[in-house]
A and B are shown apart, each in its own frame.
Chain A
Amino acid sequence: MSIEKSPLRRKLDKLFVPLTVGPTLLWIAAIIVYPTAKLLFSSFQFRNPVTNEMEFVGLRNFRRLIFAREGGQAALGVFNPSFVSITTNTAIYVGFSVSISFLLGLGIALLLDKDLKGRGWFRTAVIVPWILPYVMSGLMWRWMFQSDFGAINGALQRLGIISGNIPFLSDGALAMVALIIADVWVFTPFIIIILLAGLQNVPEQLYDAAEVDGASRWSRFWNVTYPFLKPSILVALTIRIIFDIRALDLVWVMTQGGPGKSTEVWASWLYRTAQVFNEPGSGAALGVVLLAVTFAIVASLYKIFGESPYQA
């Protein structure tokens, strides 16, 4: 075998890294850096309704977004009531969805971690809701919660639990509950997968030892499983929270933020502002806020769990 190389081959070898990494970096810069810069730029602009021109307005979009208006001017210190209520809705939606799906997912993952026959089959059956298009899942749940012909009212009536139909999606509080149920249905598989992967890192002998020691089930989980599971829990929670804050699909097809504004969340508000109301400047400002909040949440989660986000 020859070790000598032609000059061309040597040149190509030298260029290996630039040629393999370069295109991806250029691509990512074009599709991420450029739009992000444009987002920041747009957030300082406002479409003049008369001339239809974009005007530079400084921080006005942010002030209008976060603070209430008094006599045409944003009053610093007094919060915009819609901003407060939509932020509350987002917190309720994300808080309940994430914690319920986390606890449910942890339970199922612990069950699936047992040495059961047909475990692969169960895993397959459990994963499917997450892989379906969110729109189709959202519409499916809307159909399930339909008040006259929906399966949930139908089933509850047949079981004799209720006598009249419950108008799930036309009552504000119930609509939020319905959204959370749909969200839990869609995203619990994700938690299960990530936690199952983490459970594989727990050394089997430690369980045996704990059992021999007569450790209670709770103490076995807390002292043996949890320390090994911590990185996976962190990843699962981070991705879940980030995703829920920005996810529009389910909310949009199930309630469009209604009835009234009872299920309006940041994502649907952003979409409504930017697209329906054709106010790109305000939408961009909300986008910037969303970006900042996302990074703040990620940073604080990693602070709490004391790990670096990426062990690169």
Chain B
Amino acid sequence: MSTKKSPLNRLRRSLGLETQNEWPSVARERLLAYGLLAVYVLVIWFPIYYIFITSLKPSSEVLSLPITFLPQDPTAQNYVDIFTNRPFDNYTINSMIVATTTTLICITLGTVTGYSFSRFDFMGNKSLLLSIVGARMIPPIALIVPFFQIMSNPPLVGGFTGSLYDTRLALILTYTFFNLPFAVWIMKNYFDGIPESLDEQARIDGCSRWEAFVKIILPMAKPGIAATAILAFIFSWNEFVFALVLTSSEQAQTLPIAVSLFVADDFVDWAHLAAGGMIAALPGILFGLFFQQYIVSGLTQGAVKE
């Protein structure tokens, strides 16, 4: 990349011409950027708005013409219905338990393992890390058949003979498969960014490895842990395909399944589906609005090593 300045440019600079010419074009460019971004945001938020207003319409208004873009007679009845006529309380609890437990497992194991991969040169650590991260490449859907077989007919461990099919445990076990390799990778990269001299200082001060890790390094890694936790939670909360295959009743079905259940062959109960969809979408919207920077940092640390 050439950085030399031509005599003409130097002349223009010294005359101050450049700044004079630059400002109007910069302002115009900014205005254009704002305009384009605003149009983009409006367009991509329109579907969310439309499903939201659908959730507030009585069923009669949902299926009447011409369609309305503002609810004529807004009501919360759809939300009441799905919790009284359908077990949305169960679905929500299942989603909460599955997503929270998966998140806890992934951040606990992901943090300690990520730390060791970041700090220690042990036998085969590079290829081990590569295979852990490579596990993310395996298309989960390819494993749908074996997971179904294993969960309906688990291998005998410690005398356990029951079936895990249609339990929350089956989902928790499965979801760690998506999220644990990711958690290890993000945390490893995060610890790489914390200077190793801090560990050494703590060790000189008499800390054991465990104390140095827990007392000194872990508190510094909080933003990384938050990023990992948020992503693991969202991924588990939103998962659909494995929940569809591994569960069959309200004792384990999660919100994404509950929403899909409003589709019955040819008839779709759109008003109630919209209400259920808004409930399922709530964590995503809230996390997006309040923890956007954690999601971005987690995603970029997991994907691009800086």
Contact = CB atoms under 8 A, between A and B. Distances in A.
User: Interface centre among B50, B129, B303, by most A CB within 10 Å?
Assistant: B303
B221 interface: no
A160 to B, nearest CB: 13
Nearest to A104: B40
Nearest to A129: B44
B237 A133 contact: yes
A84 interface: no
Given A12-B210, A188-B44, A270-B141, 17 more contacts: A1-B205, A13-B209, A24-B110, A25-B132, A31-B177, A31-B180, A39-B145, A108-B37, A125-B45, A136-B281, A143-B270, A149-B65, A193-B299, A236-B303, A270-B144, A274-B148, A291-B142
B291 to A, nearest CB: 10
B118 to A, nearest CB: 11
B144 A310 contact: no
Given A133-B256, A267-B141, A290-B142, A24 B180 contact: yes
Nearest to A30: B173
B213 to A, nearest CB: 8
Contacts of B9: 212-214
A48 interface: no
Given A20-B113, A212-B13, A312-B133, A287 B142 contact: yes
Contacts of B303: 194, 197, 235-236, 239
12 contacts: A13-B208, A20-B113, A28-B180, A39-B146, A116-B34, A128-B284, A129-B48, A133-B281, A139-B259, A140-B50, A196-B296, A280-B145
Contacts of B116: 16-17, 20-21
Contacts of A24: 109-110, 112-113, 132, 180, 184
A2 B141 contact: no
A291 B134 CA distance: 12
A27 B109 contact: yes
Contact of A151 (B50, B262, B288): B50
A9 B208 contact: yes
Contacts of B130: 310, 312
A252 B257 CA distance: 12
Interface in A111-131: 111-112, 114, 116, 120, 122-129, 131
Given A135-B260, A290-B139, A312-B133, A111 B36 contact: yes
A19 B133 CA distance: 20
A174 interface: no
A10 B50 CA distance: 62
B280 interface: yes
A284 B146 contact: yes
Interface string B284-299: 1101110011011001
A111 B184 contact: no
A73 interface: no
Contact of A294 (B113, B137, B206, B263): B137
Interface in B110-143: 110, 112-113, 115-117, 120, 122, 126, 128-130, 132-133, 135, 137-143
B174 to A, nearest CB: 7
B273 A131 contact: no
Interface of B: 1-6, 9, 13, 29-30, 33-34, 36-37, 40-41, 44-48, 50-51, 54, 62-67, 69, 109-110, 112-113, 115-117, 120, 122, 126, 128-130, 132-133, 135, 137-150, 155, 173-174, 176-177, 180-181, 184, 205-206, 208-210, 234, 237-238, 240-241, 245, 255-257, 259-260, 262-263, 268, 270, 273-274, 277, 280-281, 284-285, 287-289, 292-293, 295-296, 299-300, 303-306
Contact of B47 (A1, A144, A288, A311): A144
A87 interface: no
A300 interface: no
Interface stretch (A62-70, A74-82, A90-98, A241-249): A241-249
A35 B150 contact: yes
Contacts of A274: 144-145, 148
Interface string A276-312: 0000100110111011001100100000000000111
A231 interface: yes
A122 B240 contact: no
Contact of B260 (A16, A139, A148, A188): A139
Nearest to A184: B44
A154 B142 contact: no
A154 B65 CA distance: 9
Contacts of A270: 141-142, 144
A23 interface: yes
B1 A224 contact: yes
B44 A185 contact: yes
Contacts of A288: 142
A141 interface: yes
Nearest to A205: B3
Given A13-B209, A16-B209, A312-B129, A149 B67 contact: yes
Contacts of B144: 270-271, 274-275, 283, 287
A181 to B, nearest CB: 10
B28 to A, nearest CB: 13
Nearest to A201: B306
A248 B115 CA distance: 34
6 closest Cβ pairs, A-B complex: A287-B142, A246-B139, A197-B300, A38-B146, A131-B284, A20-B112
A23 B110 CA distance: 10
A19 B280 CA distance: 37
A59 interface: no
